Structure 1
Amino acid sequence: MTDDGVLIVGAGPTGLTLAIELARRGAGVRIVDAAPAPHRDSRGKGLQPRTLEVLEDVGVTERALAAGTTRLPFRKYFDGAHVNDTDPFADARPTPDAPYERGVLIGQWQVERLLRERLAEFGIAVEAGTEVTGFEQDEDGVTAVLAGGERIRAGYLVGCDGGRSRVRKAMGVRFDGTTDETQSMVVGDIEAEGISRDVWHQWFASDGSGVMLCPMPGTNSFQFQAGPELDASGDPLPPSLEGFQRIFDRYAQVPGITLTDPTWLSLWRVNVRMVDRMRVGRVFLAGDAAHIHPIAGGLGMNTGIQDAYNLGWKLALATAGQAGPGLLDTYEEERLPVAAWTLGISTDLYARVREAVKEPGTGVEAAAPPPMGTGYRWSSLASPAATVTTAATGDPAVLRPGDRAPDAPCLGASGNPVRLFQVYADPRFTLLGFGAEVAGAVGKLGAEHDDLLQAFTVDGGGGDLRDHEGHARRAYGVTDPALVLVRPDNHIALLTRDPAEVADYLSRITTFPPKE
């Protein structure tokens, strides 16, 4: 790796996603992890629909769907009696603009394995057992110091090394928030022969306690979740298989079931914390290193992957010398508010879960999280000056700059089906020109900015893409000739009729001013 490359510290879902995003854009990248080998813990066990969209762009969604499951009913018991079976997403259906109507249940270790396999396709492997203990930075780059004394030089460093991040501590940023020692949970992976694996079992009691067993796809394990046993002074006992068995026997009241083969036992406390900055010079934070929150909703892994997706294209342009000095500031500008929102949502979800378990007719599914990743309308990359209308009547467009770019089924120039998400998989910006009137401008812009841009006409000038069912026009609010510029992370950059605005926007990316 050259001094212009990126050193990623931490090979969880966040670090691996970032490494792939950089690698597929041709940026130099090196990824290290302190652990001597990959873990086999289920941990965060769900990928949300928006994260599946991100991972489709990364190239692993099909593999994740094959390894996990999208359909697992909840089976609730109260004081030992079966109450109901429910599927909160039973009526959910994919739509042309949103192909993933529900998330996928999959162990975190499996997600990491799929990401490592994808990264290996670019010739890059995680350097295991490599611990970064500190770093120094100057105007030209960062020098990381390893536990054995070795020094690694890189253009940029990104700490994806979890809630106890050494990179964060070395940066000197605040990690504001609270740790509630009075609220804790034991979590682990165990086997339980004789328990059905086609539902997520949730046993609760009138005292508000209980135990849950979630079958993990592709394994013989269940993820065990429960409140901890307490010692005489009221402190949580360390997690153990024997303790898990006692908790299970008390609340499940299913005789003859023995829990066996623990591969992960953990005591989890409610932490709600986030950094005040995600960047100091050439050093960045992403994922749990920047924000940690309650387990409810499974937002941690998803938020980290989306952090990496936002940062990857910006760092790649910076390492290639194509980014203005302020483009990297937009990472913190866009993702820090998302982290704050996620902390608030997950804290609320956790409180709702604790209340839900006390009511016989209410399930944990009542605390399902809202959709993530809807956009960055507040960003300076989506400035009000760039917001225009696309309808002939002057009505506002359905979408605004900063919003998530929708999917839509189209036909390619050869007549074969192609989705817009497949088109957006190119690591550059994408320009869609709706109508024959803008076809010439689309071709000209594509030729002049081919290093930053791929350009397509839609239903015009020979039609690189044909919106044969009108889904693209409806999704993007287009009724008249229009130009839609989509960012490399599949968010709307610009909606306009004026080709000069597209050229100006792309020029602004390469000259973006730094924050004062």
Structure 2
Amino acid sequence: MHTDVLIVGAGPTGLALGVDLARRGVDALVVERADGLFPGSRGKGIQPRTMEVFDDLGVLDAIRAAGGDYPVGVIWQDGKRVGEHRMFDPAEATEDSPYTEPWMVPQWRTQEILFARLEELGGRAAFGREVVGLEQDAEGVTVGFGDGGSLRASYVVAADGGRSVVRRALGIGMTGETVDPHPTLVADLRITGLDRDNWHIFPPGEGEGFLAICPLAGTEDFQAVAQFSEGSTVDLSLDGIRKVVAARSHLAPEDVTEVRWASDFRPRAALADRFRSGRVFLAGDAAHVHSPAGGQGLNTSVQDAYNLGWKLGAVLRGGAPATLLDTYEEERRAIAADMLGLSTSVHRGEVRRGKATRQLGLGYRESSLTQETRAAAGRVRAGDRAPDATVGDVRLFDAFRGPHWTLLALGTQAPDVGEPVRVVAGPPHAVYGTGLFLIRPDGYVGWAGETAGGLAEYARRTGL
């Protein structure tokens, strides 16, 4: 068997990459060692930048229908409401940033939506296929499975989590730290006796850690998170979780009627020493492991896939030079390092969830794939996220949607750039200013100039 791209892991990262490659006509296979999709809520926060990514991938309507806004936190003490806590600093939507608040969707539901989109596009996934090893040469990668079978791929993407088998087989280390030594329980529960309009917070008592119980938007479940003393063993059974809830809240043990899923972890932050080895790439938790505080892990992971997908498509189907793939690690490892620091700072209470955690300000100004040729650049520079706007009667996010590049010609003549590029022309814009802006398939400005000088060379370098 042979495929252009083998994606190891059917989590949000692997599925998002599979969707992106499928719409580009790239033959890709997603393999997952489990027999089905992940069943828990773990990564439940979709940040505004990822909402924009999901818009482009064609799943935003389903994501919005499946979730809801984050509720206001209510602080309890001795069975009484004693205060409120707002998890995020508020922000109003603007024309250039239509999504400004995190959207809550349980991870299992996000994965169902991405999987449905993958199938809709004709993409493939195989469950119960455990990768146990791989060997690569100049032409491709041979991957071995636990059942004795093997598969040949031009490229492999490891999206198989923090304990990545592929990363370990490559001998790539991870450098990191323990963010918090206290074991933490996370569980999806059915609970009676709590309203679904609030996030219920029970501060730590004597000898006990905190308990937080959040209604999961779009479901009948609650997500419970509880912290334990260092060295504790976490009981994931129904009786064990009932005892924790009853000891730390005004609820009775029988108010917890069902455990839908439960896990425990110790918050840590770690970054892979490399994101690539030859024809194998690391993405998502295989490349960076976050504290869940601030909701950066899943979002950074999906954006890894979004960065890598168009580059693989350009090399495999668009005639781009293979050197384009070098920019994946260059761009994404720096972003991951920044987001790890942010997650840790939020976890330790040093930074509030707000502008930085929304990820709208992330970009690639220092990338070798970025070229700014204007003598006096305006607010939007090459390497920045391309903001939404209306130019003439065209909404830019509508123009960007799809696997193509887009050229904005604002207050200047648009050059002939050929069929693969969509051209949007109009007068100078308050946000963009005047000039030519070549927008990458992942929604970032790759090249910007006052005239078309240098644009043709940039297009050749990126396979346009």
TM-score tier by shorter-chain length is over 0.9
> CA 1:18–1:212 in 2, change beyond 3 Å: closer, same or farther?
same
Give the partner amino acid of 1:115: L
Is residue 380 from structure 1 mapped to residue 352 from structure 2 by the alignment?
A: no
In 2, Cα distance between the equivalents of 1:485 and 1:119? Answer: 28
Q: 5+ residue gaps in structure 1?
A: 354-364, 390-394, 413-417, 460-469, 512-516
In 2, Cα distance between the equivalents of 1:105 and 1:322? Answer: 39
> CA 1:181–1:496 in 2, change beyond 3 Å: closer, same or farther?
closer
In 1, Cα distance between the equivalents of 2:243 and 2:32? Answer: 36
Give the partner amino acid of 2:387: P
In the alignment, what sits opposite 1:350?
347
In 2, Cα distance between the equivalents of 1:183 and 1:251? Answer: 17
Alignment counterpart, residue 487 of structure 1, candidates 434, 440, 447: 440
Question: Displacement, 1:401?
Answer: 1.1
SS at match of 2:61: helix
Give the partner amino acid of 2:93: P
Conserved? CA contact 2:72–2:199, under 8 Å: yes
Conserved? CA contact 1:229–1:236, under 8 Å: no
Give the partner amino acid of 1:438: Q
What do you get for the CA RMSD once the two structures are aligned? 2.2
Conserved? CA contact 1:79–1:205, under 8 Å: no
Give the partner amino acid of 2:287: A
In 2, Cα distance between the equivalents of 1:84 and 1:21? Answer: 44
In 2, Cα distance between the equivalents of 1:67 and 1:178? Answer: 35
Question: Displacement, 1:212?
Answer: 0.6
In 2, Cα distance between the equivalents of 1:121 and 1:20? Answer: 9
In 1, Cα distance between the equivalents of 2:352 and 2:90? Answer: 15
In 2, Cα distance between the equivalents of 1:262 and 1:105? Answer: 20
In the alignment, what sits opposite 1:407?
388
In the alignment, what sits opposite 2:432?
476
Conserved? CA contact 1:485–1:495, under 8 Å: yes
> CA 1:79–1:326 in 2, change beyond 3 Å: closer, same or farther?
farther
In 1, Cα distance between the equivalents of 2:197 and 2:369? Answer: 45
> CA 1:455–1:283 in 2, change beyond 3 Å: closer, same or farther?
same
Give the partner amino acid of 2:336: A
Question: Displacement, 1:201?
Answer: 0.7
Question: Displacement, 1:68?
Answer: 0.1
> CA 1:91–1:265 in 2, change beyond 3 Å: closer, same or farther?
closer
Give the partner amino acid of 1:309: Y
In the alignment, what sits opposite 1:216?
216
Give the partner amino acid of 2:438: L
Conserved? CA contact 2:90–2:101, under 8 Å: no
In 1, Cα distance between the equivalents of 2:235 and 2:182? Answer: 14
Of 117-126 and 89-98, more deviation after overlay is shown by: 89-98
Question: Displacement, 1:324?
Answer: 1.8
Conserved? CA contact 1:10–1:160, under 8 Å: yes
Conserved? CA contact 1:427–1:488, under 8 Å: yes
SS at match of 2:156: strand
In 2, Cα distance between the equivalents of 1:313 and 1:171? Answer: 24
Is residue 501 from structure 1 mapped to residue 458 from structure 2 by the alignment?
A: no
Question: Displacement, 1:13?
Answer: 0.3
In 1, Cα distance between the equivalents of 2:40 and 2:251? Answer: 26
In 1, Cα distance between the equivalents of 2:68 and 2:98? Answer: 16
Give the partner amino acid of 2:379: V
In the alignment, what sits opposite 1:510?
463
Alignment counterpart, residue 334 of structure 1, candidates 331, 335, 347: 331
Question: Displacement, 1:347?
Answer: 1.1
In 2, Cα distance between the equivalents of 1:366 and 1:56? Answer: 27
Question: Displacement, 1:218?
Answer: 2.4
In 1, Cα distance between the equivalents of 2:432 and 2:180? Answer: 48
> CA 1:382–1:181 in 2, change beyond 3 Å: closer, same or farther?
closer
In 2, Cα distance between the equivalents of 1:180 and 1:366? Answer: 17
Conserved? CA contact 2:87–2:353, under 8 Å: no
In 1, Cα distance between the equivalents of 2:239 and 2:79? Answer: 20
Please list the CA deviations of residues 87-146 of structure 1 after superposition, one character each: whole Å capped at 9, or x if unmatched.
456853210000002111110000000001111111123201011111111111111111
Of 259-268 and 161-170, more deviation after overlay is shown by: 259-268
Question: Displacement, 1:61?
Answer: 1.1
Conserved? CA contact 2:306–2:442, under 8 Å: yes
Is residue 438 from structure 1 mapped to residue 413 from structure 2 by the alignment?
A: yes
> CA 1:85–1:195 in 2, change beyond 3 Å: closer, same or farther?
same
Question: Displacement, 1:239?
Answer: 2.5
SS at match of 1:183: coil
In 2, Cα distance between the equivalents of 1:74 and 1:116? Answer: 32
Of 42-51 and 260-269, more deviation after overlay is shown by: 260-269
In 2, Cα distance between the equivalents of 1:280 and 1:484? Answer: 33
In 2, Cα distance between the equivalents of 1:222 and 1:37? Answer: 22
SS at match of 1:84: strand
Of 172-181 and 83-92, more deviation after overlay is shown by: 83-92
Question: Displacement, 1:246?
Answer: 2.0
> CA 1:427–1:245 in 2, change beyond 3 Å: closer, same or farther?
same
SS at match of 1:144: strand
In 2, Cα distance between the equivalents of 1:278 and 1:109? Answer: 26
In 1, Cα distance between the equivalents of 2:218 and 2:424? Answer: 41
Larger Rg belongs to: 1
> CA 1:409–1:276 in 2, change beyond 3 Å: closer, same or farther?
same
In the alignment, what sits opposite 2:400?
424
Question: Displacement, 1:183?
Answer: 1.9
Question: Displacement, 1:222?
Answer: 0.6
Question: Displacement, 1:274?
Answer: 1.1
Conserved? CA contact 1:79–1:204, under 8 Å: no
Conserved? CA contact 2:162–2:286, under 8 Å: yes
In the alignment, what sits opposite 1:392?
none
Written as runs of structure 1 = structure 2, the 5 A alignment for 1:268-283 is: 268-283=265-280
Question: Displacement, 1:79?
Answer: 5.1
Question: Displacement, 1:255?
Answer: 4.8
Question: Displacement, 1:229?
Answer: 6.6
In the alignment, what sits opposite 2:289?
292
In 1, Cα distance between the equivalents of 2:80 and 2:380? Answer: 48
In the alignment, what sits opposite 2:31?
32
Of 216-225 and 106-115, more deviation after overlay is shown by: 216-225
In 1, Cα distance between the equivalents of 2:124 and 2:2? Answer: 17
Conserved? CA contact 1:155–1:319, under 8 Å: no
Structure 1 outlier segments of 4+, above 6 Å: none
SS at match of 2:168: helix
In the alignment, what sits opposite 2:357?
370
Conserved? CA contact 1:80–1:251, under 8 Å: no
Count how many residue pairs are aligned between Structure 1 and Structure 2. Answer: 461
Alignment counterpart, residue 457 of structure 1, candidates 418, 425, 435: 425
In the alignment, what sits opposite 1:397?
378
Of 52-61 and 86-95, more deviation after overlay is shown by: 86-95
In 2, Cα distance between the equivalents of 1:79 and 1:477? Answer: 57
In 2, Cα distance between the equivalents of 1:324 and 1:265? Answer: 46
Conserved? CA contact 2:100–2:358, under 8 Å: no
Question: Displacement, 1:379?
Answer: 0.6
SS at match of 1:57: helix
Please list the CA deviations of residues 347-369 of structure 1 after superposition, one character each: whole Å capped at 9, or x if unmatched.
1111118xxxxxxxxxxx95556
In the alignment, what sits opposite 1:145?
144
Report the TM-score when normalising by structure 1.
Answer: 0.85
Give the partner amino acid of 2:248: Y
Please list the CA deviations of residues 166-201 of structure 1 after superposition, one character each: whole Å capped at 9, or x if unmatched.
110111111112346832201111111121011111
